[in-house]
């Protein structure tokens, strides 16, 4: 290896495997609703008895079959995110102190970004990408372009700290996609480290349709196994796990649910969405028998959720509530069976650990 070459080390990124804890969060929620305790938990994928779902168990005398799947905003999202991490870490190492200062740069890569297989080819592709960034940054520096953007009250172009003032887009065969390098003229005013390049994923404009198709494929993979379990007398439950609060948020999935369920000959008895990427794990009941979001009502983004049995005005004098109309302002809008549950991660048990 030459002295000026960046040592390559593929980043070790651990993708959380939360299926056991996500299932436990859902089972806890079902126990609260049914007032029954779990029993006879087994793992069909290990004991090879019945369809290979995540869990079989009982609540009281009723048998349940539970299947888990991660939902992504587009096909191969997790794989793409890992590629972006690899590119980001390589560029941070290889371009440190080499880009024009005090500029700040952002490399936007599309969702079809791909690095070649094999360490030698992979390093060559990353090196070619770094060289293109150096060349493009120098081109922008030399042409000194300042795009026509709004001027603030001091006569300073807002682009100096809010918007990029120049960019270069190109098709790069080394990573088999079109990328764009954007530049901010003053990294400090933009709240960024001068001379630094950040790598971000440029999500497609048709993200909603991509998300719908990805979830539809997940349903097509999981529903047949659950249908066989129902034929055995089990009540069936599908657990959807979201690890991306921005792009697979509960309301985005809930509003698409009627489209996703329409025309199917089999539907699970219950569907839950577990958001596992926040401090608290949120468990949203999305479907119960024939009722489902959004027809029965669903949580609203940026609106507080109050349990009907525990409104925020509980304990306040009636005259005080009436004077400020608090009961109307903070009125619960979800019936108790549709109110989401929350759990701390350390409260949850990995129900799939026993099979490993």
Q: At what angle do helices 207-231 and 250-261 cross, to 10 degrees?
A: 60
Q: Could you tell me if residue 150 is inside a domain? A: yes
Q: Could you tell me if residue 56 is inside a domain? A: yes
Contacts of 138 (CB under 8 A, 6+ apart): 100
Backbone angles phi, psi at 315, to 5 degrees: 95, -15
From residue 307, give the alpha-carbon distance in Å to each of 48, 266, 299, 314: 41, 32, 11, 11
From residue 301, give the alpha-carbon distance in Å to each of 139, 278, 296: 44, 15, 16
Q: Is 195 left (phi over 0), alpha (psi -120 to 50) or beta?
A: left
pLDDT value of position 3: 46
For the residues of 202-240, what is the DSSP string, one character each?
E--TTHHHHHHHHHHHHHHHHHHHHHHHHHTT-EEEEEE
CATH code of the domain in which 342 resides: 3.40.1350
Q: Could you tell me if residue 219 is inside a domain? A: yes
Looking at the fold, whether 251 and 213 belong to one and the same domain comes out as: yes
Looking at the fold, whether 33 and 95 belong to one and the same domain comes out as: no
Helices (H), the chain: 19-34, 44-47, 77-94, 119-143, 207-231, 250-261, 318-324, 326-329
Instruction: Give dist(CA 29, CA 283) in Å, integer.
Output: 8
Q: Could you tell me if residue 319 is inside a domain? A: no
Residue 137 · residue 100 · CB < 8 Å: yes
Torsion of CA 57, 59, 63, 64, to 10 degrees: -60
From residue 231, give the alpha-carbon distance in Å to each of 27, 44, 224, 261, 309: 21, 16, 11, 20, 37
Q: Could you tell me if residue 313 is inside a domain? A: no
State which of 135, 169, 202 marks the end of a domain: 202
State which of 202, 237, 254 marks the end of a domain: 202
Looking at the fold, whether 66 and 83 belong to one and the same domain comes out as: no
Q: Is 291 helix (H, G, I), strand (E, B) or coil?
A: strand
**How is the chain split among helix, strand and coil, in percent rounded to 5?**
35, 20, 45
Q: Could you tell me if residue 329 is inside a domain? A: no
For the residues of 109-160, what is the DSSP string, one character each?
EETT--PPSSHHHHHHHHHHHHHHHHHHHHHHHHHT------B-TTS-BGGG
Find the domain containing 31 and state its range: 19-74+207-299+334-355
Q: Could you tell me if residue 103 is inside a domain? A: yes
Instruction: Give dist(CA 317, CA 332) in Å, integer.
Output: 18
DSSP state of 7: P
Q: Could you tell me if residue 48 is inside a domain? A: yes
Instruction: Give the pLDDT of the chain (356 residues) as one tens digit per residue.
Output: 344 566 666 666 556 688 999 999 999 999 999 999 999 999 998 899 999 999 999 999 999 999 999 999 998 888 899 899 999 999 999 998 888 877 789 999 999 999 999 989 999 999 999 999 999 999 988 887 554 445 555 555 554 455 677 899 999 998 889 999 998 776 555 566 777 888 999 998 898 999 999 999 999 999 999 999 999 999 999 999 998 888 898 999 999 999 999 999 999 999 999 999 878 899 999 999 999 999 888 888 777 776 666 666 667 777 777 777 766 666 667 888 899 999 999 999 999 874 54
Looking at the fold, whether 339 and 233 belong to one and the same domain comes out as: yes
- Give the total residue count for the chain: 356
Looking at the fold, whether 197 and 212 belong to one and the same domain comes out as: no
Closest to 219 in 3D by CA, of 240, 249, 250, 200: 240
Helix (H) or strand (E) holding 191: none
Looking at the fold, whether 103 and 143 belong to one and the same domain comes out as: yes
Looking at the fold, whether 248 and 107 belong to one and the same domain comes out as: no
> What is the number of H-type helices and E-type strands within the chain?
8, 12
Looking at the fold, whether 279 and 161 belong to one and the same domain comes out as: no
Looking at the fold, whether 40 and 169 belong to one and the same domain comes out as: no
Looking at the fold, whether 258 and 218 belong to one and the same domain comes out as: yes
Q: Are strands 291-292 and 341-344 parallel, antiparallel or unpaired?
A: unpaired
State which of 202, 225, 258 marks the end of a domain: 202
What is the number of structural domains in the chain? 2
DSSP state of 81: H
pLDDT value of position 301: 77
Looking at the fold, whether 341 and 280 belong to one and the same domain comes out as: yes
pTM recorded for the entire structure? 0.82
From residue 186, give the alpha-carbon distance in Å to each of 162, 167, 192, 193, 260: 10, 14, 8, 9, 46
Bridge partner residues of 55 (DSSP) = 66
pLDDT value of position 238: 98
Looking at the fold, whether 264 and 147 belong to one and the same domain comes out as: no
């Amino acid at each position: 290896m030459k002295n000026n070459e960046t040592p390559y080390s593929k980043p070790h990124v651990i993708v959380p495997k939360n299926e056991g804890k996500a299932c436990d969060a859902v089972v806890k929620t079902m126990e609260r609703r049914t007032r029954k305790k779990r029993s006879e938990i087994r793992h069909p994928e290990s004991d090879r008895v019945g369809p290979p779902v995540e869990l079989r168990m009982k609540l009281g005398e009723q048998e349940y079959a539970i299947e888990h799947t991660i939902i992504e905003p587009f096909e191969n999202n997790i794989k793409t995110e890992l590629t972006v991490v690899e590119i980001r870490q390589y560029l941070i190492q290889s371009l440190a102190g080499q880009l024009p200062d005090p500029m700040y740069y952002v490399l936007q890569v599309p969702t079809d970004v791909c690095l070649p297989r094999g360490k030698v080819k992979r390093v060559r592709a990353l090196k070619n990408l770094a060289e293109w960034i150096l060349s493009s940054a120098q081109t922008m520096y030399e042409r000194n372009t300042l795009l026509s953007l709004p001027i603030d009250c001091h006569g300073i172009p807002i682009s100096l700290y809010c918007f990029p003032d120049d960019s270069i887009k190109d098709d790069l065969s080394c990573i088999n996609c079109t990328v764009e390098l954007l530049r901010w003229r003053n990294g400090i005013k933009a709240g960024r480290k001068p001379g630094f390049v950040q790598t971000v994923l440029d999500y497609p404009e048709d993200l909603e349709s991509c998300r719908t198709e990805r979830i539809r494929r997940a349903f097509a993979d999981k529903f047949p196994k659950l249908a066989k379990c129902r034929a055995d007398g089990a009540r069936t439950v599908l657990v959807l796990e979201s690890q991306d609060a921005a792009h697979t948020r509960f309301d985005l999935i809930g509003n698409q649910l009627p489209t996703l369920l329409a025309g199917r000959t089999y539907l699970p008895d219950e569907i839950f969405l577990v958001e596992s990427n926040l401090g608290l794990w949120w468990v949203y009941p999305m479907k119960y028998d024939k009722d489902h979001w959004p027809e029965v009502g669903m949580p609203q983004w940026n609106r507080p959720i109050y349990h009907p049995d525990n409104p925020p005005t509980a304990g306040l004098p009636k005259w005080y509530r009436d004077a400020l109309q608090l009961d109307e302002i903070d009125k619960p809008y979800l019936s108790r069976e549709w109110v989401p549950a929350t759990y701390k991660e350390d409260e949850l048990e990995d129900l799939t650990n026993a099979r490993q």
